[in-house]
Amino acid sequence: MGDPRAAGYWPTPRRIATLSVHTSPLEQPGTGDAGGMNVYIVEVSKRLAALGVEVEVFTRATSSELPPVVEMAPGVIVRHVTAGPFEGLSKEELPSQLCAFTNGVLRAEAANPPGYYDLIHSHYWMSGQVGWLARERWGVPHVHTAHTLAKVKNRLIAAGDRPEPKARVIGEEQVIAESDRLVANTRFEAQDLVSCYDADPARLTVVQPGVDLDRFRPGGAQAADRRRLGLPERGHLVAFVGRIQPLKGPDVLIRALAEEPLRHEDVTAVICGGPSGSGLDRPTALIELAASLGVLHKVHFLPPQTGDALAALYRSADLVAVPSHNESFGLVAVEAQACGTPVVAAAVGGLVTAVTDGVSGVLVDGHDPAGWATVLGGLLRSPARRLRLSVGAVQHASNFSWDRTAESLLRVYREAAAEHRALIAARLAGSFSW
């Protein structure tokens, strides 16, 4: 008999249970707990469905008005699981509701014929805890994507931010040890999983996220995009897009405006996003900071943008700044580059993959506002260099595709399923040995 891991034996899963406990793919990215992971689940789920795999996403219900089941796209449904109060429950409080959430997930499977789900893919550590239990109950492989890691975040913590609790560290260690397969967004995240969590390299696969290249593409109507968004039509624009919290470093951009290389430049910083995480403690902190530095007149705040409006924001900017203290990938950086806008990013985590230094943008060591002002100011004063980076940005972003991401994940699923079947067969053979 041939090797059950060989290509001919790899079964394609019919239906996947995707777990996203703390944030729904239906939520608006850029505020609360919704961010790149939400985009990832939406885009991957739609493309897996296009490849013939049904996807059911389990997420916690945050409103009594939400229907139990919503069709997100053909072949993709979102199940709202009741677990704890609908509103007013922070992400830090959610571990207390994992038992209730797991119960809802198991009940959904129990209402269907045995073997209804072929595989579990959990996103973030709390979902991994649920996936760990469902895997044992259903007898199917469990694939896990961490997206962010507590030990890494604590090592690179921003000033004023809260460290991740010990309970999360322990929870991540358990999930990483028990998952059948681990998917990392970049090779740097894979290295962190091995060095910080003793992950088994044989169970670890790097699958890069993608970008919607149909939506995020270059355009020549910068002035029109600015008018549409209510932004200044004259002068330079540097955009920050993301959740407003210390981890993302929007304060670095505002502080850079007060430094000499930028203080006298005709430049506006556009801060697009909503408060999140520890940023909820002081939702007006950035306004207060800009006022205290005397640069409030150089800052324009926008609520989170979606779809074509987000693409227009990227195109309207001369540069996009991503001064995060940690990123598992950096989806904003790739989206901006796909629109032809060079990115200035911190040289941390996945941003080293998302941005090619000197080709599609510039990577900055550290978060010193003076250093950021020097880099930003130099680029704003050099249109020829920005043009070269713009060309490189589009070319670099073309290497990222959600179709490619989904196809790579499907290979991981097939391998996990084949290995799971081989393990069961080995156990059965052992139980009948004399």
Separation CA 263–CA 294 (nearest Å): 10
- Number of C-alpha atoms within 13 angstroms, CB side, residue 71? 5
Q: Helix (H, G, I), strand (E, B), or coil: what is residue 66?
A: coil
Query: Cβ-count burial of 429 within 10 angstroms (0-12 exposed, 13-18 middle, 19+ buried)?
Result: exposed
Separation CA 298–CA 254 (nearest Å): 9
- Annotated binding residue 148: yes
Query: Cβ-count burial of 60 within 10 angstroms (0-12 exposed, 13-18 middle, 19+ buried)?
Result: buried
Separation CA 393–CA 145 (nearest Å): 27
- Annotated binding residue 93: no
Assign residue 346 a region: left if phi > 0, alpha if psi is -120 to 50, beta otherwise?
beta
- Annotated binding residue 248: yes
Rg (CA), the chain: 22
Contact by Cβ (8 Å): 334, 343: no
- Annotated binding residue 137: no
- Annotated binding residue 91: yes
- Annotated binding residue 314: yes
Separation CA 361–CA 52 (nearest Å): 37
In this structure, are strands 69-73 and 76-81 parallel, antiparallel, or unpaired?
antiparallel
- Annotated binding residue 335: yes
- Annotated binding residue 397: no
Tokens of 197: 């969590």
- Annotated binding residue 168: yes
- For residue 289, which phi and psi values (nearest 5 degrees)? -65, -50
- Annotated binding residue 277: no
- Annotated binding residue 298: no
- Annotated binding residue 243: yes
- Annotated binding residue 381: no
Tokens of 300: 């324009």
Stated as kind and residue range, the H or E segment containing 236 is: strand 236-241
- Annotated binding residue 154: no
- Annotated binding residue 274: no
User: DSSP letters of 98-151?
Assistant: HHHHHHHHHHHHHTS-TT--SEEEEESHHHHHHHHHHHHHHT--EEEE-SS-HH
- Annotated binding residue 1: no
Contact by Cβ (8 Å): 235, 220: no
How long a stretch of residues is the chain?
434
Query: Can you say which residues are annotated as belonging to the binding site for UDP-N-acetyl-alpha-D-glucosamine?
Result: 28-29, 36, 243, 248, 305, 327, 335
Residue ranges of the annotated binding site for 1D-myo-inositol 3-phosphate are 22, 33-38, 91, 124, 148, 168
| Annotated binding-site members | 22, 28-29, 33-38, 91, 124, 148, 168, 243, 248, 305, 314-315, 317, 327, 335, 341
Q: Which residues are annotated as a binding site for Mg(2+)?
A: 314-315, 317, 341
